[in-house]
Structure formats: C-alpha cells, structure tokens
Structure 1
Amino acid sequence: MTKFKLLQSWFSQVWVAGDASALDVLLSPEINVDTVFDGFLAPRNELPELIQIVHQLIGPFEIDITRFIEDGDWCSANYVMTADGPYGITPVSVGGSMMARVKNNQFIEMTTNFDAFTLFEQLGQLPEDALMACLTGQKLSWA
C-alpha cells in the first residue's frame, strides 16, 4: 500500500467512518496503548472515545486531502474536514495537517495539527474571531 493510500485509509476508515477497529490495522504493534501522538488530545487507547466525541460534536463529515508529500519513510498531508454540523444547521470547514512515519504499511509515529479553535468558533462554542480577541489581550468570559 502506498503512503498516500494508507493516509487516505486513516482519514476515511478511522475518522470519517468512525471504525476504531481500523486502528489495530493502521497503527504498528510497536505503538503502546498509552502512546500519545504529538497533537492528539488522547493516548492511543482513548482514540476510539475521541473519534466518537468528534462525531457527536459535528455529525457526519468528510475529509479531503489537499496536499500530500512523502520523503523516505515519512509522509505529510494538509487536509480539510467539512460537515453540515450538528443537525445539519451549523456548517463546519476546518483545516489540519499530519506528518507520519510509516513502517511495514503501518503508522509508527505521527504528529498532527488541527484547528480546533476555528472548529469551536464555527460550532458557536467560542465567539466569532475569538483568537483575534485573545491576541489583543481581551479575556473570554462565560456568563
């Protein structure tokens, strides 16, 4: 399997389809259950719950790879996640990036960056332009 196909499977099977059993196929056995990948909010053994939470927050979604490069055993991609949002009323379009090291057609190491700040703005959980407000020194407060 090419690195591009492996990355596509990661997004389509694990994240879009929510198939946590695909983690055992796509992640190397060298990865321990308590391994925390750089950029993830949860260790390996908590990824199924994280996937479920993402689906509950935004509903069905798609992920499109917009750029892909590889060099040796490493590959990297930029992607965009889009959804109609919860109950189809809050559209979401958020970007991210992922770098991964591949060995024997499995991921052995990865680092991710996902624009969760923008996601929560689009879901209405943070005020619009919250990042810009934070950069000016303003404080966010909830009533």
Structure 2
Amino acid sequence: MSNANRELVKLWFEQVWNKGDESVIDRLMSPTATVHGLGAADDKPVSGPEGFKTFFRAFRTAFPDIRIRILRTICDGDMVACHCAVTATHTGGGLGVAPSKAPIEIYGVSIARIENGQIQEGWNCYDFLSLYQQIGLLPKLAEKPGEAPPLA
C-alpha cells in the first residue's frame, strides 16, 4: 500500500500544483477531507475539496508559475510525508496584495493520510514567514546580530 500512497501524493503535486489541474483535486481528495496549515491568519483547517480549492485558486493566482519539487518521501502505513522545495514568481494578486514580481523559494513538509485511495487528512508546514519576506509583505530579519532590518 505504501507505494500506491506514495504515487498518489506524487500525482497530487505534479498534477494539481505543477500543472494547475484543479479537476484532480476532486479525484484525489476525499469529500470529507480536512487540511491543516495552509497559512491562514486564523489557522483554521479547510474542509473538503471545495474548501481546498479556495486556497488553491488564491495561491495559484498569486504564483501562477509555481513548481513544487519533492525532495524526499517517507511512507508509513496510510501516511505519506514529503519534504518539498517550492519555487515561483509573485506575479498575481491572489494573496490580496499587489504582485511584487519577486521570485520566491521556500521549503516545507506535507503529510497526508490516505484512505480508500484519496487524501483524507493533510498537514502542511511551510516557511510562510520567509515567503512573506520574499514578496515584501514583512521585513527581512537582520543579517548580523544587532543590525536592524532595513525600513521600507
């Protein structure tokens, strides 16, 4: 089962994120799925394919050239964990801010629990702080101890 689960998650990243095929969400995500850690200010999980699509559309609008590379995968029973590298360019307004045209590169981990050939639950831990700094929403941290970050 681990190989089938690994392939399902690989297909998710390739088809949904890298190719932008929204129809695959309905096929690979359970109607009762819960997804945690998508960077929302209220940190509430999203429910089901429709809830996920709201996040997906906003993120793909902000970063239409997004590319997610799976660096390594670990499978354990019905669980699949992927360490990922994300690259994109902030050319759209999907995050509610003007496009910065800045390239971004962040890393993170996605964990999926697979049930009956679909994602039933997902946990995401990505470096959204770095993403917000790279697109200019937040100041970058000081490079040296005692050095203040530049002001806008």
Give TM-score scaled by structure 1 length.
0.76
Identity %: 29
What amino acid maps onto 2:66 in structure 1?
F
Which residue is 1:38 aligned to? 36
Shift of the alpha carbon at 1:43?
3.1
Secondary structure at 1:37's aligned position in 2?
strand
Contact 1:18 / 1:51 at 8 angstroms: preserved in 2? no
Structure 2 counterpart of 1:23, from 25, 50, 55: 25
User: Higher helix proportion, which one?
Assistant: 1
Shift of 1:93: 0.4
Gap regions ≥5 residues in structure 1: 133-137
Structure with the higher fraction of residues in strand conformation: 2
Q: Which residue pairs with 2:87 in the alignment?
A: 82
Give the drift of 1:38.
Answer: 2.0
**Aligned partner (choices 109, 113, 121) of residue 109 of structure 1:** 121
Counterpart secondary structure, 1:125 = coil
Query: Which amino acid letter does the alignment assign opposite residue 129 of structure 1?
Result: L
Question: More displaced, 59-68 or 121-130?
Answer: 121-130
Give the distance between the partners of 1:107 and 1:48, measured in 2 at CA.
Answer: 14
AA at the equivalent of 1:71: D
SS of the equivalent of 2:21 reads: coil
Conserved 8 A contact 1:18-1:52? no
User: How many residue pairs align between the two structures?
Assistant: 131
- TM-score (norm: length of structure 2): 0.72
Structure 2 alignment gaps of length 5 or more: 41-45, 92-98
CA distance in 2, matches of 1:110, 1:36: 6
